[in-house]
Amino acid sequence: MAKDWNAALYLKFEDERTRPSRDLLAQVPLEAPGLCVDLGCGPGNSTELLAERFPAAAVVGLDTSPDMLASARTRLPQAQFRQDDAATFTLERPADLLFANAVLQWVPDHASLFPRLLTQVAPGGVLAVQMPDNLDEPSHAAMRAAALDGPWSHKLAAAAAARTALPSVGTYYDLLAPDCARVEVWHTIYRHPLEGIPAIIEWVKGTGLRPFLDPLDAQERAGYLEAYAARLAPHYPRQVDGKVLLAFPRLFILARKKG
């Protein structure tokens, strides 16, 4: 069984992780939604944005991680939080805004998932989604390469399957368009200045690297991280100020359900 998420580790890069939430929320065309649901709310940084934008709305955060939910409740005591799964949750009433930031990449079978998500959105409401689309970036390709090249390979055979490549932009459009008055899909590539290869590793330890580290004992983990760092180095040269640039492509989807 996978270990729980680590809210403190995730929040080491809070500003960078929250920026896509801000960018997604800025495109939401709602004035006064009654119910906003933050699906995969994590430590509440995205939920806080919803509460600030829509102070009169009921705001609910859902997540599978007890540690993330504990952090979210401390951060935003006025909101409601509950443990639930993005793949199977059901709302008591449809949301005016269903906001899913950096969670659905972990959920399989998007051909079934996205039409089901729309059933949880009220007529005229909005489904707003952001997902990392970075499996081909060196930061993630090196995870898989290092996993297959070492004494830990037998333990990590399934790790690469924790996430699969996202469907095409056109696939998402076709899944949502029949039930929506407006569908927009776009990519943004963020380039985050970080303090070297160790900072990149700290970043991904909180998210994409978890399936590769959780099965390993302490000695194996140290060896794997050393091999991973060696594979990263050629792809992230130092800039003039000594920092490296972590390229991070993200896919955004905004769908307004027919009224």
Best CA proximity match to 128, nearest among 212, 192, 184, 166: 184
Q: Give the pLDDT of residue 231.
A: 98
Tell me the HSE value of 71 on the side-chain side, using a 13 A CA sphere. Answer: 22
What's the burial of 224, exposed, middle or buried (CB within 10 Å: 0-12/13-18/19+)? buried
What is the dotted CATH code of the domain comprising 7-257? 3.40.50.150
pLDDT tens column, 75-124: 999 999 999 999 999 999 999 999 999 999 999 999 999 999 999 999 99
C-alpha pair distances (Å), 242 with each of 124, 179, 196, 200, 238: 49, 49, 7, 14, 5
pLDDT tens column, 3-33: 655 545 555 567 888 899 999 999 999 999 9
For range 135-149, the mean pLDDT: 95
Mean model confidence pLDDT for the chain = 93
Which of the four pLDDT bands, split at 50, 70 and 90, describes residue 193? very high
User: Which sequence spans correspond to the domains of the chain?
Assistant: 7-257
pLDDT at 185 over 80: yes
Q: Give the pLDDT of residue 206.
A: 82
Q: Give the pLDDT of residue 1.
A: 37
